[in-house]
Chain A
Amino acid sequence: MANKLIELVNISKTYGDNVVLDDLNLYFNENKFLTLLGPSGCGKTTTLRIMGGFETPDTGSVLFQGKDIKSIPPNHRPLNTVFQKYALFTHMTVADNIAFGLKIKKKSKAYIQDKIKYALKLVNLDGFENRMPDSLSGGQQQRIAIARAIVNEPKVLLLDEPLGALDLKLRQDMQYELIRLKNELGITFVYVTHDQEEALTMSDTIVVMNQGYIQQIGSPEDIYNEPENAFVADFIGESNILSATMVEDKLVNILGVNFPCVDTGFGQNKPVDVVIRPEDIDFVAPDEGQLKGRVTSLIFKGVHYEMEVMANGFEWLVHSTDMQPVGTEVGMKVDPFDIQIMNKPTSEDEEAVKVDE
């Protein structure tokens, strides 16, 4: 297909005995903000480095606009990378750092000057041309690293946990900054992070990875509201994950109680996993709920209270603005569309998906 910008086909990579990527397939289109999300060691950085050309996959191919670029060295690839620790050239000024790629492409002096000015303006660091990288703060260094990459007008910008070393406030500012940059430049960003909030905030598409496998690909809403398995549900946000039995279509038995739900096609009396988000549990009078339990802990979180409720032998996590003191007997209700049903992992590959409890 013409609009596939980059496509990874059957990519595998092992280091010694350690399988980092196992038969990975992934493609994305132009002008997208794509995020590879997962815990450390899930293979997300390796995937990025394979696109950048810093790692060679053991098998499979890397297609750029339909052409295999697997054997093209990084200096000839039409994409640029922003490295985790910025990797600025400490012996050069900011201007020389930004000009590096352009000088190699033998652009004219005037063109380079214009580009430096433009890039510094874009990252809000006008007038920093003659500073040395060492004299800049972490956030400023990060902006320079981005400026250095984008002046080369790559079709794709690869970003490897670029905000990892910044403090919370600066991270949030930079998140908006990156979204703005992406929209102004009109190019594709491939972003690697282990921070689910960052992923939900910035991405058009999120690729959730674990132990070398892609767990789910989807929009931030899809990933959050309809996780395909227990791993995704647990990794993205907080949740109650339980084993349950699908009695029939639209009816699931959780801890001995039958809950109406909206899912169909799982068969009859099949074991499944269910996810219920803590904010989707509503408190009602003790005898009016589907479940009855006792509050065991209460923490004030600012926008809501976080409570744990012991009911039917399970500690339920509940987020609510409706405060219930410890020891209170409460009833709990869950709307059918708030219950997300997932298949249990069956094959060995899918075992990787299982949450460590």
Chain B
Amino acid sequence: MNKKFFATPYIIWMTGFTIIPLLLILYYGLTDKTGAFTIDNIVSIATPEHAKALFLSIGLALISTLICLILAYPLAMILKSLQVNQNRFIVFLFILPMWMNFLLRTMAWQTLLENQGVINAIFRFLGLPQMKLINTSYAIIFGMVYNFLPFMILPIYNVLIKISDDIINAAKDLGANQFQVFLKIIFPLTLPGVISGITMVFIPALTTFVISNLLGGGKILLIGNVIEQEFTFSGNWHLGSGLSLVLMIFILVSMALLAKYDKNGEGTVF
């Protein structure tokens, strides 16, 4: 039997549960309640309320992604320098927290970020001024960085450990100092990992509604919250689908921009 047909169940499944559902979003997004064609659902992104939510989402997602990158890159370098040959163990340390429910972990940050919480207690102890953290954008960024950091660390670490010492030695041999080795060799070679890391952090951060709900106290609306409300409270699926389409376009555009740097598509998380 031709092995190609092993993929048949998968192709049927993906058609039924990925492609058709997406076409349905497209259909709902471009029609109104009577079923007539309209672009109102899409254009409604321009209303101040929706535009504000979208820009806030993009802003917070960008900041979180940047923080994750800044935290994760040196960490991945340190993990590589430890030369643990048990790299499965390292991956395991970052996956492990997922076994405690994501909602509970995020809720726990409420406890830590609270005005009387642990973080402020530490600030007090160090003589630093008290900060209002909970129910602010800071708390949301905190939650995003916390939840998505492993998805930045693992892809970078995975490409980093594949760079052989010989390549680095060769660059040194040709006269490059530490900084030049990093800039000209290590960083370009880890770019695929960086790009998959950015993808894996930016998209969930852009589309989340849970983190903003739990740590923003329901006062801060992201585009995810708006869409979720259209589906669960307001019941306007057409508007919700229209906004989802806008969100998807944003994701597509940002991925297309990133794809330019990842020619070989080598970056993978696992």
Report if A and B touch in the complex (beta carbons < 8 A): yes
| CA–CA, A75 and B175, complex, Å | 4
Question: Shortest CB–CB separation between residue B215 and chain A, in angstroms?
Answer: 40
Q: Contact partner of A87 among B169, B177, B180, CB < 8 A?
A: B169
A74 within 8 A of B: yes
The segment out of A99-107, A116-124, A269-277 that lies at the interface is: A99-107
| A interface size (C-beta, 8 A) | 25
| CA–CA, A87 and B166, complex, Å | 6
Given contacts A81-B170, A83-B166, A83-B169, contact A89 B175 (CB under 8 A): no
A301 within 8 A of B: no
Given contacts A87-B164, A100-B174, A148-B174, contact A74 B188 (CB under 8 A): no
CB <8 Å contact, B173 and A52: yes
Given contacts A84-B166, A85-B164, contact A91 B189 (CB under 8 A): yes
What residues of chain B lie closer than 8 Å to A100, measured between beta carbons? 171, 174, 176, 184
| Beta-carbon nearest neighbor of B164 in chain A | A87
**Binary CB contact string for chain B from 177 to 189 against chain A (1 if under 8 A, 0 otherwise):** 1001000110011
Given contacts A85-B166, A87-B164, contact A75 B172 (CB under 8 A): yes
What residues of chain B lie closer than 8 Å to A88, measured between beta carbons? 170
| CA–CA, A101 and B184, complex, Å | 11
- Of the four ranges (under 10, 10 to 19, 20 to 34, 35 or more), the interface on chain B belongs to 10 to 19
| Beta-carbon nearest neighbor of A99 in chain B | B174
| Beta-carbon nearest neighbor of A74 in chain B | B172
CB <8 Å contact, A75 and B185: no
B167 within 8 A of A: yes
Q: Contact partner of A152 among B167, B175, B188, CB < 8 A?
A: B175
CB <8 Å contact, A75 and B166: no
| Beta-carbon nearest neighbor of B188 in chain A | A91
Q: Contact partner of A54 among B169, B176, B180, B184, CB < 8 A?
A: B169
Interface residues of B (CB under 8 A from A): 164, 166-167, 169-177, 180, 184-185, 188-189, 191
- The 9 tightest CB contacts between A and B, nearest first, are A101-B174, A87-B166, A87-B170, A74-B172, A104-B175, A83-B166, A81-B173, A75-B172, A91-B188
18 residue pairs from A and B, CB less than 8 Å apart: A52-B169, A53-B173, A54-B169, A74-B173, A75-B172, A81-B170, A83-B166, A83-B169, A87-B164, A87-B167, A87-B170, A89-B185, A100-B171, A100-B184, A105-B175, A148-B170, A148-B174, A149-B173
Q: A53-B173, A74-B173, A85-B164 are in contact. List 10 more A-B contacts (CB 8 A).
A: A54-B169, A54-B173, A80-B173, A81-B170, A81-B173, A87-B166, A87-B167, A100-B176, A104-B175, A152-B174
